[in-house]
Amino acid sequence: MAERVFLQVDGLRFSYPECAVLDGLSLAWPAGLALVRGDESSGKTTLLRLLAGELAAQAGRILLQGTGPAETPKAYAQKVFWADPRAGDLDSFTARGWLEGLPTRYPLWDAAALAAHTEGFTLQEHLDKPFYALSTGSKRKVLMAGALASGAPLTLIDEPVGGLDKPSIRYLAQALASEASRQDRLTVVAHYEALADVPRGTVVDLVRP
């Protein structure tokens, strides 16, 4: 039996003024775990931002369980988790304050999962620090703890291992492996290569234009 399509992308096109990035990309992803793989400037983050509805495609269509960012942006946004680890828009928040605000945005929020990920990523000592005071790795761990606990049907994680120590990488692999068998959720990870000890799931390779 063919796997049911969870996220459908048809003919996606996006260009920046200086270069084309995606040209006619089409995907049909089941639930579980997916990897967007490619070198620097191949369009990995751009694709995640398009899937998040943060960027508007110049052509093509995105459908997540029948909902699209162009047609029903508010309904679509409630189904998607995206937090750019490179952005500075969270600097005024403490890690705890940001995490405490997420349940109101995500109806499927899982408090028990947050507690497990907080422990797994050893975040307890960092929760009352503002984001600007966190290291690159600690910031990523906070964002990923929120992402994994959000319960969002589409969860987008960009370059997950940047700045992480080895124990945190091992825990991340375990956490992502547990997402691979989910039937109610798609977790999309963008990275330049497959992560060790993580089921590969669906893979799309992007090539720098």
The domains of the chain, with CATH numbers, are: 7-204 (3.40.50.300)
CA distances from 14 to 11, 38, 119, 205 (A): 10, 17, 39, 16
| Residue 99, pLDDT above cutoff 60 | yes
H or E segment and range at residue 205: strand 202-205
Band (pLDDT 50/70/90 cuts) for residue 209 is low
Q: Average the pLDDT over 65-79 and give the result.
A: 91
Q: Average the pLDDT over 47-66 and give the result.
A: 94
Identify the three-state secondary structure at position 85.
Answer: coil
Band (pLDDT 50/70/90 cuts) for residue 18 is confident
Q: Which of 2-6, 53-57, 89-93, 141-145 has the lowest mean pLDDT?
A: 2-6
Report the percentage of the chain scoring pLDDT > 90.
75
Structure-token match 């990995």, residue found:
44
Q: Average the pLDDT over 80-103 and give the result.
A: 94
Residues 6+ apart with CB under 8 A from 115: none
Band (pLDDT 50/70/90 cuts) for residue 201 is confident
Per-residue DSSP letter, 206: -
Residues 6+ apart with CB under 8 A from 187: 32, 33, 34, 148, 155, 157, 176, 179
Give the separation between CA 63 and CA 127, rounded to whole angstroms: 35
The predicted pLDDT at position 199 comes to 82
For residue 61, what are the β-bridge partners?
Answer: 10
| Residue 48, pLDDT above cutoff 70 | yes
Q: Average the pLDDT over 23-29 and give the result.
A: 93
Q: Average the pLDDT over 81-110 and give the result.
A: 94
Q: Average the pLDDT over 98-114 and give the result.
A: 96
Bridge pairing between strands 59-64 and 7-16: antiparallel
pLDDT tens-digit series, residues 152-196: 999 999 999 989 999 999 999 999 999 999 999 999 999 988 888
| Residue 1, pLDDT above cutoff 50 | no
Give the separation between CA 74 and CA 68, rounded to whole angstroms: 10
Q: Is the pTM higher than 0.75? A: yes
